[in-house]
Chains A and B, each alone.
Chain A
Amino acid sequence: MGRRVVLGLVGLGAIGVVTGARVQDFLERTLGPVIAKDGTGVTALLPFGRFRIYTVTGSLPSRSPDEWSMRVGGLVDTPLRLTYDDLRAMEPTSLTRDFQCVTGWRVSDVAWRGVRLADVLDRAGVAGAARAVRFTSFDGAYTESLTLAQARRRDVIVAYEMEGSPLSRAHGGPVRLYVAPMYGYKSLKWLDGIEVTDRVVPGYWEQRGYDIDAWVGRSNGRDDEAT
Protein backbone atom coordinates (compact mmCIF):
# COMPACT_ATOMS: atom_id res chain seq x y z
CA MET A 1 0.00 0.00 0.00
CA GLY A 2 2.71 2.42 1.02
CA ARG A 3 4.66 1.53 -2.07
CA ARG A 4 1.59 2.05 -4.26
CA VAL A 5 1.00 5.49 -2.75
CA VAL A 6 4.63 6.46 -3.30
CA LEU A 7 4.76 5.21 -6.88
CA GLY A 8 1.39 6.78 -7.67
CA LEU A 9 2.43 10.18 -6.37
CA VAL A 10 5.82 10.08 -8.07
CA GLY A 11 4.01 9.19 -11.30
CA LEU A 12 1.64 12.08 -10.75
CA GLY A 13 4.66 14.34 -10.29
CA ALA A 14 6.19 13.11 -13.55
CA ILE A 15 2.94 13.70 -15.43
CA GLY A 16 2.82 17.13 -13.84
CA VAL A 17 6.29 17.98 -15.11
CA VAL A 18 5.29 17.06 -18.66
CA THR A 19 1.86 18.69 -18.66
CA GLY A 20 2.42 21.37 -16.02
CA ALA A 21 3.08 24.21 -18.46
CA ARG A 22 -0.29 23.63 -20.14
CA VAL A 23 -2.14 23.00 -16.87
CA GLN A 24 -0.71 26.19 -15.45
CA ASP A 25 -1.73 28.21 -18.50
CA PHE A 26 -5.24 26.79 -18.21
CA LEU A 27 -5.48 27.60 -14.49
CA GLU A 28 -4.12 31.06 -15.14
CA ARG A 29 -6.78 31.75 -17.76
CA THR A 30 -9.68 30.30 -15.80
CA LEU A 31 -8.77 31.27 -12.24
CA GLY A 32 -6.71 34.39 -12.92
CA PRO A 33 -9.75 36.71 -12.99
CA VAL A 34 -11.10 35.17 -9.77
CA ILE A 35 -7.78 35.64 -8.01
CA ALA A 36 -7.54 39.24 -9.14
CA LYS A 37 -10.76 39.91 -7.21
CA ASP A 38 -9.73 38.08 -4.05
CA GLY A 39 -9.33 40.70 -1.35
CA THR A 40 -7.60 38.41 1.13
CA GLY A 41 -4.55 37.91 -1.05
CA VAL A 42 -4.34 34.26 0.02
CA THR A 43 -4.97 32.93 -3.48
CA ALA A 44 -2.08 35.10 -4.69
CA LEU A 45 0.14 32.49 -3.04
CA LEU A 46 -1.14 29.69 -5.27
CA PRO A 47 1.57 28.47 -7.60
CA PHE A 48 0.50 29.68 -10.99
CA GLY A 49 0.57 32.94 -12.86
CA ARG A 50 2.49 34.74 -10.17
CA PHE A 51 5.74 36.57 -10.04
CA ARG A 52 8.46 35.50 -7.63
CA ILE A 53 10.18 38.53 -6.22
CA TYR A 54 13.93 38.12 -6.34
CA THR A 55 16.44 40.54 -4.93
CA VAL A 56 20.14 39.76 -4.80
CA THR A 57 20.80 42.19 -1.97
CA GLY A 58 19.51 42.15 1.59
CA SER A 59 16.75 44.68 1.23
CA LEU A 60 14.23 45.89 -1.29
CA PRO A 61 15.72 48.89 -3.11
CA SER A 62 13.64 52.04 -2.85
CA ARG A 63 13.67 55.18 -4.93
CA SER A 64 10.71 57.44 -5.69
CA PRO A 65 10.16 58.71 -9.24
CA ASP A 66 11.23 62.17 -8.04
CA GLU A 67 14.51 60.88 -6.64
CA TRP A 68 15.15 58.63 -9.60
CA SER A 69 17.41 59.46 -12.52
CA MET A 70 19.38 57.40 -14.99
CA ARG A 71 22.82 57.96 -16.41
CA VAL A 72 23.42 57.09 -20.07
CA GLY A 73 27.14 57.10 -20.75
CA GLY A 74 30.13 55.18 -22.06
CA LEU A 75 30.73 55.21 -25.80
CA VAL A 76 28.09 57.83 -26.59
CA ASP A 77 28.21 61.23 -28.29
CA THR A 78 26.38 63.02 -25.48
CA PRO A 79 26.28 61.50 -21.99
CA LEU A 80 22.83 62.03 -20.50
CA ARG A 81 21.11 62.07 -17.17
CA LEU A 82 17.44 61.31 -17.67
CA THR A 83 14.84 62.01 -15.01
CA TYR A 84 11.57 60.14 -14.63
CA ASP A 85 9.75 63.02 -16.33
CA ASP A 86 12.27 63.01 -19.20
CA LEU A 87 11.52 59.35 -19.76
CA ARG A 88 7.77 59.90 -19.55
CA ALA A 89 8.03 62.66 -22.13
CA MET A 90 9.58 60.30 -24.70
CA GLU A 91 7.44 58.36 -27.17
CA PRO A 92 5.86 55.49 -25.22
CA THR A 93 5.64 51.92 -26.42
CA SER A 94 3.52 49.06 -25.08
CA LEU A 95 3.90 45.34 -25.38
CA THR A 96 2.23 42.32 -23.85
CA ARG A 97 4.34 39.22 -23.46
CA ASP A 98 4.88 36.24 -21.17
CA PHE A 99 7.41 36.70 -18.43
CA GLN A 100 9.55 33.56 -18.29
CA CYS A 101 12.08 32.78 -15.58
CA VAL A 102 14.96 30.50 -16.49
CA THR A 103 14.06 28.19 -13.58
CA GLY A 104 10.62 27.67 -15.07
CA TRP A 105 7.98 29.92 -13.56
CA ARG A 106 6.02 31.87 -16.08
CA VAL A 107 3.44 34.63 -16.01
CA SER A 108 1.35 34.86 -19.17
CA ASP A 109 0.49 38.03 -21.01
CA VAL A 110 2.03 40.71 -18.86
CA ALA A 111 1.35 44.22 -20.20
CA TRP A 112 4.38 46.52 -20.17
CA ARG A 113 4.75 50.17 -21.04
CA GLY A 114 7.86 52.28 -21.37
CA VAL A 115 10.21 53.58 -24.03
CA ARG A 116 12.30 51.62 -26.48
CA LEU A 117 15.85 51.18 -25.34
CA ALA A 118 16.87 52.00 -28.93
CA ASP A 119 15.27 55.44 -28.56
CA VAL A 120 17.22 56.11 -25.36
CA LEU A 121 20.46 55.05 -27.07
CA ASP A 122 19.72 57.22 -30.10
CA ARG A 123 19.06 60.18 -27.87
CA ALA A 124 22.61 59.91 -26.49
CA GLY A 125 24.08 58.92 -29.85
CA VAL A 126 26.03 55.65 -30.03
CA ALA A 127 29.70 55.97 -30.98
CA GLY A 128 31.24 53.89 -33.77
CA ALA A 129 33.30 51.62 -31.53
CA ALA A 130 30.26 50.53 -29.51
CA ARG A 131 29.37 46.82 -29.50
CA ALA A 132 27.34 46.27 -26.35
CA VAL A 133 25.31 47.88 -23.59
CA ARG A 134 25.75 47.36 -19.89
CA PHE A 135 23.04 48.07 -17.30
CA THR A 136 23.36 48.80 -13.62
CA SER A 137 20.81 48.73 -10.83
CA PHE A 138 20.48 51.03 -7.86
CA ASP A 139 20.36 47.92 -5.68
CA GLY A 140 24.13 48.34 -5.94
CA ALA A 141 24.88 44.78 -7.04
CA TYR A 142 22.92 43.60 -10.07
CA THR A 143 24.22 44.18 -13.58
CA GLU A 144 23.20 42.98 -17.02
CA SER A 145 24.33 43.43 -20.57
CA LEU A 146 23.13 43.02 -24.15
CA THR A 147 24.86 43.20 -27.50
CA LEU A 148 24.09 46.40 -29.37
CA ALA A 149 21.96 44.45 -31.85
CA GLN A 150 19.94 42.89 -29.02
CA ALA A 151 19.58 46.25 -27.32
CA ARG A 152 18.16 47.78 -30.50
CA ARG A 153 15.30 45.29 -30.80
CA ARG A 154 11.83 46.76 -30.67
CA ASP A 155 10.84 44.37 -27.87
CA VAL A 156 13.55 45.59 -25.51
CA ILE A 157 12.22 48.48 -23.47
CA VAL A 158 12.96 50.68 -20.50
CA ALA A 159 9.71 50.05 -18.63
CA TYR A 160 7.88 52.24 -16.14
CA GLU A 161 4.45 50.60 -16.14
CA MET A 162 3.29 47.03 -15.62
CA GLU A 163 -0.31 45.91 -16.01
CA GLY A 164 -1.47 49.50 -16.33
CA SER A 165 0.08 50.76 -13.09
CA PRO A 166 3.38 52.44 -12.32
CA LEU A 167 6.01 49.77 -11.61
CA SER A 168 6.01 48.83 -7.94
CA ARG A 169 9.18 48.60 -5.85
CA ALA A 170 8.98 44.80 -5.78
CA HIS A 171 8.80 44.63 -9.57
CA GLY A 172 11.80 46.91 -10.04
CA GLY A 173 10.17 50.34 -9.96
CA PRO A 174 10.22 53.11 -10.73
CA VAL A 175 12.08 52.03 -13.87
CA ARG A 176 13.40 48.67 -15.03
CA LEU A 177 14.58 46.96 -18.15
CA TYR A 178 12.25 44.53 -19.93
CA VAL A 179 13.91 42.24 -22.46
CA ALA A 180 10.89 40.39 -23.86
CA PRO A 181 12.63 37.65 -25.87
CA MET A 182 14.94 36.59 -23.05
CA TYR A 183 14.69 34.97 -19.62
CA GLY A 184 13.73 37.14 -16.69
CA TYR A 185 17.25 37.58 -15.36
CA LYS A 186 17.99 39.82 -18.37
CA SER A 187 15.22 42.20 -17.35
CA LEU A 188 17.22 44.08 -14.74
CA LYS A 189 15.18 45.74 -12.01
CA TRP A 190 15.74 49.16 -10.42
CA LEU A 191 17.58 50.44 -13.47
CA ASP A 192 19.73 53.52 -12.95
CA GLY A 193 22.57 53.29 -15.45
CA ILE A 194 23.11 52.48 -19.12
CA GLU A 195 26.67 52.29 -20.34
CA VAL A 196 27.58 51.71 -23.97
CA THR A 197 30.69 49.51 -24.16
CA ASP A 198 32.99 47.93 -26.73
CA ARG A 199 32.27 44.39 -25.51
CA VAL A 200 29.69 42.40 -23.57
CA VAL A 201 30.39 42.36 -19.85
CA PRO A 202 28.72 39.32 -18.26
CA GLY A 203 25.98 40.24 -15.79
CA TYR A 204 25.30 39.18 -12.21
CA TRP A 205 23.84 35.71 -12.88
CA GLU A 206 26.02 35.19 -15.93
CA GLN A 207 29.08 35.41 -13.70
CA ARG A 208 27.31 32.67 -11.71
CA GLY A 209 26.80 30.31 -14.59
CA TYR A 210 23.80 31.38 -16.64
CA ASP A 211 24.01 31.93 -20.41
CA ILE A 212 24.88 35.42 -21.63
CA ASP A 213 22.51 35.10 -24.58
CA ALA A 214 19.32 34.24 -22.73
CA TRP A 215 16.82 33.65 -25.55
CA VAL A 216 13.69 31.90 -24.39
CA GLY A 217 13.33 28.68 -26.36
CA ARG A 218 10.76 28.49 -29.08
CA SER A 219 9.18 25.57 -27.26
CA ASN A 220 7.71 28.27 -25.07
CA GLY A 221 5.21 28.88 -27.83
CA ARG A 222 6.47 32.39 -28.33
CA ASP A 223 7.52 34.00 -31.56
CA ASP A 224 10.08 36.60 -30.81
CA GLU A 225 11.48 37.24 -34.22
CA ALA A 226 13.22 40.57 -34.46
CA THR A 227 10.82 43.15 -35.77
Chain B
Amino acid sequence: MDAVAATRPDPAGAEPDPAGIVRFDRTERLVHWTTAVLVLVLLATGAAMYAGPISTLVGRRELVKTVHVLAGLALPVPLLVGILMPRRGGGLRADARRINRFDAEDRRWLRPRRAARPGKFNAGQKLNASFLVAAGVVLLGTGVMMRWPGLWSVDLRTGATFVHDWFAIGVALSVTGHIVLALRDPIAFAGMRRGVVPARWARRTHPQWYEEVTGHPADRLAPNPQRETGVRR
Protein backbone atom coordinates (compact mmCIF):
# COMPACT_ATOMS: atom_id res chain seq x y z
CA MET B 1 0.00 0.00 0.00
CA ASP B 2 2.85 2.37 0.74
CA ALA B 3 5.67 2.93 -1.68
CA VAL B 4 7.90 3.64 1.30
CA ALA B 5 9.36 0.68 3.11
CA ALA B 6 8.46 0.45 6.74
CA THR B 7 10.79 -0.38 9.57
CA ARG B 8 9.77 -2.78 12.29
CA PRO B 9 11.59 -3.41 15.57
CA ASP B 10 14.76 -5.20 14.63
CA PRO B 11 16.16 -7.54 17.29
CA ALA B 12 19.44 -7.69 15.44
CA GLY B 13 19.83 -3.97 16.11
CA ALA B 14 20.45 -2.95 12.54
CA GLU B 15 20.43 0.72 11.65
CA PRO B 16 16.93 2.04 11.02
CA ASP B 17 15.78 2.14 7.46
CA PRO B 18 16.60 5.60 6.12
CA ALA B 19 13.23 5.62 4.39
CA GLY B 20 11.59 6.15 7.74
CA ILE B 21 9.51 4.64 10.51
CA VAL B 22 5.82 3.87 10.24
CA ARG B 23 3.95 6.22 12.59
CA PHE B 24 0.36 5.74 11.47
CA ASP B 25 -0.91 2.80 9.44
CA ARG B 26 -3.49 3.06 6.69
CA THR B 27 -6.44 2.43 9.03
CA GLU B 28 -5.31 5.14 11.42
CA ARG B 29 -4.89 7.66 8.64
CA LEU B 30 -8.27 6.84 7.13
CA VAL B 31 -9.90 7.21 10.54
CA HIS B 32 -8.04 10.47 11.13
CA TRP B 33 -8.98 12.11 7.85
CA THR B 34 -12.63 11.03 7.73
CA THR B 35 -13.02 12.19 11.32
CA ALA B 36 -11.21 15.43 10.44
CA VAL B 37 -13.66 16.16 7.61
CA LEU B 38 -16.63 15.43 9.89
CA VAL B 39 -15.23 17.65 12.65
CA LEU B 40 -14.65 20.54 10.26
CA VAL B 41 -18.19 20.19 8.90
CA LEU B 42 -19.52 20.11 12.47
CA LEU B 43 -17.54 23.18 13.51
CA ALA B 44 -18.62 25.11 10.42
CA THR B 45 -22.31 24.22 10.65
CA GLY B 46 -22.23 24.62 14.43
CA ALA B 47 -20.78 28.12 14.08
CA ALA B 48 -23.53 28.93 11.58
CA MET B 49 -26.15 28.06 14.18
CA TYR B 50 -24.33 29.73 17.07
CA ALA B 51 -22.57 32.95 16.10
CA GLY B 52 -24.98 35.68 15.03
CA PRO B 53 -22.88 37.24 12.27
CA ILE B 54 -22.26 33.85 10.62
CA SER B 55 -25.89 32.77 11.12
CA THR B 56 -27.22 35.82 9.34
CA LEU B 57 -24.77 35.28 6.50
CA VAL B 58 -25.55 31.61 6.01
CA GLY B 59 -29.21 31.35 7.04
CA ARG B 60 -30.86 28.15 5.73
CA ARG B 61 -31.44 26.85 9.21
CA GLU B 62 -32.97 23.53 8.24
CA LEU B 63 -30.23 22.54 5.81
CA VAL B 64 -27.51 23.58 8.26
CA LYS B 65 -29.17 21.68 11.08
CA THR B 66 -29.63 18.55 8.97
CA VAL B 67 -25.99 18.52 7.87
CA HIS B 68 -24.85 19.13 11.46
CA VAL B 69 -27.00 16.31 12.84
CA LEU B 70 -25.94 13.82 10.15
CA ALA B 71 -22.26 14.68 10.56
CA GLY B 72 -22.65 14.41 14.33
CA LEU B 73 -24.26 10.99 14.17
CA ALA B 74 -21.53 9.85 11.75
CA LEU B 75 -18.70 11.20 13.90
CA PRO B 76 -18.02 8.09 15.99
CA VAL B 77 -18.37 5.71 13.05
CA PRO B 78 -14.83 5.88 11.56
CA LEU B 79 -13.16 5.47 14.95
CA LEU B 80 -15.45 2.63 16.04
CA VAL B 81 -15.10 0.79 12.72
CA GLY B 82 -11.33 1.25 12.85
CA ILE B 83 -11.06 0.01 16.43
CA LEU B 84 -13.27 -3.00 15.77
CA MET B 85 -11.53 -4.20 12.61
CA PRO B 86 -9.96 -7.48 13.72
CA ARG B 87 -6.69 -7.26 11.82
CA ARG B 88 -6.41 -3.80 10.35
CA GLY B 89 -7.48 -2.11 13.58
CA GLY B 90 -4.42 -3.41 15.46
CA GLY B 91 -2.39 -0.24 15.11
CA LEU B 92 -5.27 1.91 16.23
CA ARG B 93 -5.93 -0.27 19.27
CA ALA B 94 -2.24 -0.25 20.19
CA ASP B 95 -2.16 3.56 19.99
CA ALA B 96 -5.32 3.81 22.07
CA ARG B 97 -3.57 1.74 24.73
CA ARG B 98 -0.52 4.03 24.58
CA ILE B 99 -2.75 7.08 25.01
CA ASN B 100 -4.44 5.51 27.99
CA ARG B 101 -1.11 4.82 29.71
CA PHE B 102 0.42 7.69 31.64
CA ASP B 103 3.94 7.19 32.95
CA ALA B 104 6.61 9.14 34.80
CA GLU B 105 7.89 10.63 31.55
CA ASP B 106 4.44 12.06 30.88
CA ARG B 107 4.27 13.66 34.30
CA ARG B 108 7.76 15.07 33.72
CA TRP B 109 6.66 16.40 30.33
CA LEU B 110 3.85 18.36 31.97
CA ARG B 111 6.22 20.20 34.32
CA PRO B 112 7.32 23.68 33.27
CA ARG B 113 11.02 22.96 32.65
CA ARG B 114 10.54 19.71 30.89
CA ALA B 115 13.33 17.43 29.89
CA ALA B 116 11.14 14.45 29.26
CA ARG B 117 11.64 11.63 26.83
CA PRO B 118 8.17 11.00 25.41
CA GLY B 119 7.08 7.76 23.83
CA LYS B 120 5.02 7.66 20.66
CA PHE B 121 2.74 10.34 22.11
CA ASN B 122 3.70 13.03 24.57
CA ALA B 123 1.58 13.92 27.59
CA GLY B 124 -0.07 16.83 25.81
CA GLN B 125 -1.13 14.63 22.93
CA LYS B 126 -2.46 12.03 25.34
CA LEU B 127 -4.49 14.52 27.37
CA ASN B 128 -5.80 16.18 24.23
CA ALA B 129 -6.86 12.85 22.76
CA SER B 130 -8.64 11.94 25.99
CA PHE B 131 -10.37 15.31 26.05
CA LEU B 132 -11.54 14.89 22.46
CA VAL B 133 -12.94 11.42 23.09
CA ALA B 134 -14.84 12.70 26.11
CA ALA B 135 -15.99 15.78 24.23
CA GLY B 136 -17.23 13.57 21.39
CA VAL B 137 -19.31 11.50 23.80
CA VAL B 138 -20.69 14.59 25.56
CA LEU B 139 -21.44 16.46 22.34
CA LEU B 140 -23.16 13.46 20.81
CA GLY B 141 -25.29 12.90 23.91
CA THR B 142 -26.30 16.52 24.37
CA GLY B 143 -26.80 16.87 20.62
CA VAL B 144 -29.27 13.99 20.66
CA MET B 145 -31.14 15.76 23.47
CA MET B 146 -31.39 18.90 21.37
CA ARG B 147 -32.37 17.06 18.20
CA TRP B 148 -35.11 14.99 19.85
CA PRO B 149 -36.35 17.49 22.44
CA GLY B 150 -39.65 15.77 23.22
CA LEU B 151 -38.01 13.21 25.50
CA TRP B 152 -36.52 15.62 28.03
CA SER B 153 -37.69 18.40 30.30
CA VAL B 154 -37.01 22.01 29.32
CA ASP B 155 -34.42 22.44 32.05
CA LEU B 156 -32.50 19.36 30.92
CA ARG B 157 -32.50 20.68 27.35
CA THR B 158 -31.28 24.07 28.54
CA GLY B 159 -28.53 22.24 30.41
CA ALA B 160 -27.74 20.15 27.35
CA THR B 161 -27.42 23.24 25.16
CA PHE B 162 -25.22 24.89 27.77
CA VAL B 163 -22.90 21.87 27.98
CA HIS B 164 -22.91 21.37 24.20
CA ASP B 165 -21.80 24.96 23.69
CA TRP B 166 -18.94 24.87 26.20
CA PHE B 167 -17.58 21.55 24.97
CA ALA B 168 -17.87 22.71 21.36
CA ILE B 169 -15.83 25.80 22.22
CA GLY B 170 -13.25 23.50 23.83
CA VAL B 171 -13.10 21.32 20.73
CA ALA B 172 -12.79 24.37 18.48
CA LEU B 173 -9.80 25.57 20.53
CA SER B 174 -8.25 22.09 20.59
CA VAL B 175 -8.66 21.61 16.84
CA THR B 176 -7.22 25.06 16.15
CA GLY B 177 -4.20 24.24 18.30
CA HIS B 178 -3.87 20.85 16.60
CA ILE B 179 -3.80 22.45 13.13
CA VAL B 180 -1.38 25.19 14.19
CA LEU B 181 1.03 22.63 15.66
CA ALA B 182 0.72 20.43 12.57
CA LEU B 183 1.56 23.35 10.31
CA ARG B 184 4.53 24.23 12.50
CA ASP B 185 5.90 20.70 12.28
CA PRO B 186 5.71 19.63 8.62
CA ILE B 187 7.32 16.27 9.38
CA ALA B 188 4.65 15.38 11.91
CA PHE B 189 2.02 16.58 9.45
CA ALA B 190 3.49 14.44 6.68
CA GLY B 191 3.44 11.53 9.12
CA MET B 192 -0.33 11.71 9.18
CA ARG B 193 -0.56 12.16 5.42
CA ARG B 194 1.83 9.44 4.32
CA GLY B 195 2.16 7.42 7.50
CA VAL B 196 5.97 7.50 7.71
CA VAL B 197 8.36 9.76 9.61
CA PRO B 198 12.16 9.99 9.34
CA ALA B 199 14.01 8.12 12.06
CA ARG B 200 15.81 11.35 13.00
CA TRP B 201 12.53 13.08 13.77
CA ALA B 202 11.35 10.17 15.86
CA ARG B 203 14.61 10.10 17.80
CA ARG B 204 14.38 13.79 18.57
CA THR B 205 10.69 14.23 19.40
CA HIS B 206 9.66 10.78 20.57
CA PRO B 207 12.90 9.14 21.83
CA GLN B 208 11.28 6.34 23.81
CA TRP B 209 9.24 5.34 20.78
CA TYR B 210 12.34 5.50 18.59
CA GLU B 211 14.13 3.11 20.90
CA GLU B 212 11.17 0.80 20.99
CA VAL B 213 10.81 0.66 17.22
CA THR B 214 14.44 0.62 16.17
CA GLY B 215 16.11 -1.01 19.11
CA HIS B 216 18.71 1.79 19.10
CA PRO B 217 19.35 4.15 21.97
CA ALA B 218 17.94 7.53 21.03
CA ASP B 219 20.78 9.48 22.63
CA ARG B 220 23.40 7.93 20.36
CA LEU B 221 24.76 10.04 17.55
CA ALA B 222 22.97 9.82 14.28
CA PRO B 223 24.47 7.54 11.66
CA ASN B 224 24.79 10.61 9.50
CA PRO B 225 26.05 13.31 11.90
CA GLN B 226 26.47 16.13 9.39
CA ARG B 227 22.72 16.10 8.84
CA GLU B 228 22.05 16.86 12.49
CA THR B 229 21.03 20.47 12.75
CA GLY B 230 21.26 20.90 16.49
CA VAL B 231 17.55 20.76 17.14
CA ARG B 232 17.95 18.23 19.91
CA ARG B 233 16.46 19.15 23.21
Interface on A for B, CB 8 Å cutoff? 1-3, 5-10, 13, 16-21, 23-24, 44-45, 47-48, 51-60, 100-106, 169-170, 208, 211, 216-217, 219-220
Counting chain B residues whose Cβ lies within 8 A of the other chain, the interface size class is 35 or more
Q: Which 8 A-B pairs have the closest CB atoms?
A: A20-B159, A47-B165, A1-B102, A104-B161, A104-B157, A9-B134, A13-B138, A20-B162
- Shortest A189–chain B CB gap in Å is 11
A9-B134, A10-B137, A219-B155 known; A55 vs B59 contact (CB < 8 Å):
yes
Show 8 residue pairs from A and B whose CB-CB distance is below 8 angstroms, ordered by the A residue.
Answer: A6-B133, A18-B159, A21-B155, A52-B55, A55-B59, A56-B59, A104-B161, A217-B153
Cβ-neighbour of A24 out of B137, B142, B146, B158 (below 8 A) = B158
Could you tell me if B159 and A45 are in contact, using CB atoms closer than 8 angstroms?
Answer: no
Kindly report which residue of chain A lies nearest to residue B126, judged by CB atoms. Answer: A2
Residues of A within 8 A of B160 (CB): 17, 20, 104
Could you tell me if B130 and A45 are in contact, using CB atoms closer than 8 angstroms?
Answer: no
- Shortest A5–chain B CB gap in Å is 4
Residues of A within 8 A of B61 (CB): 54-56
Cα distance A146–B13 in the bound complex, in angstroms: 80
CB of B129 closer than 8 Å to a CB of A: yes
Kindly report which residue of chain A lies nearest to residue B98, judged by CB atoms. Answer: A2
Contact with A along B118-141 (1 / 0, CB 8 A): 000000001101110111011001
- Shortest B101–chain A CB gap in Å is 7
Could you tell me if B161 and A20 are in contact, using CB atoms closer than 8 angstroms?
Answer: yes
Residues of B within 8 A of A47 (CB): 50, 161-162, 165-166, 169
Other A-B contacts than A58-B59, A100-B154, 14 sampled, CB-CB below 8 A, are A2-B102, A9-B134, A10-B138, A13-B134, A17-B145, A17-B159, A20-B159, A21-B162, A52-B52, A52-B55, A55-B56, A57-B60, A104-B146, A105-B158
Kindly report which residue of chain B lies nearest to residue A1, judged by CB atoms. Answer: B102
- Shortest B174–chain A CB gap in Å is 12
Q: Which of B103-119 contact A (CB under 8 A)?
A: 106
Kindly report which residue of chain B lies nearest to residue A205, judged by CB atoms. Answer: B62
Cα distance A219–B55 in the bound complex, in angstroms: 29
Contact with A along B36-62 (1 / 0, CB 8 A): 000000000000011110011011111
- Shortest B51–chain A CB gap in Å is 6
Could you tell me if B60 and A17 are in contact, using CB atoms closer than 8 angstroms?
Answer: no
Could you tell me if A9 and B59 are in contact, using CB atoms closer than 8 angstroms?
Answer: no
Cα distance A106–B156 in the bound complex, in angstroms: 12
- Shortest B171–chain A CB gap in Å is 12
Cβ-neighbour of A57 out of B59, B156, B158, B163 (below 8 A) = B59
- Shortest B196–chain A CB gap in Å is 25
CB of B18 closer than 8 Å to a CB of A: no
A5-B127, A208-B62 known; A54 vs B55 contact (CB < 8 Å):
yes
Could you tell me if B158 and A106 are in contact, using CB atoms closer than 8 angstroms?
Answer: yes
